[in-house]
Amino acid sequence: MEYNALTPEEERVILYKGTERPFTGSFLNNHAQGLYVCKRCDNPLYTSETKFESHCGWPSFDDEIPGAVRRVPDADGRRVEIVCANCGAHLGHVFEGEYLTPKNVRHCVNSVSMKFVPKES
């Protein structure tokens, strides 16, 4: 499968499981309606309807598009990594039990791991 070209920073996060600095991501304060897709393969991941303000420093979503995200135990044994179910790109981590939304789930996602497709009017 052929993937989109990545910058060195995108490779560091997406391929080598890095993290962008908190409060620096381009989608942190994005409130537009649309779709968030994987930067590496364009697989749809999240809709803007599931994005919420968690004040954690990264874009947060309380639900993924069904089948779009895979959960993997993190190497540190304490967290759960989330990756694109299509290409395995590192997205971030998922947390449960924080009671920030009625779904009680927070997908903490690196902006650099995604592209935003605005909803057409």
- List active site positions: 108
Helix, strand or coil, per DSSP, at residue 57: coil
Largest CA-CA distance found in the chain, in angstroms, rounded: 44
Residues 6+ apart with CB under 8 A from 120: none
Measured in Å, how far apart are the chain's first and last C-alpha atoms? 32
Structure-block tokens of residue 96:
């449960």
Angle at 82 between CA 86 and CA 33, to 5 degrees: 80
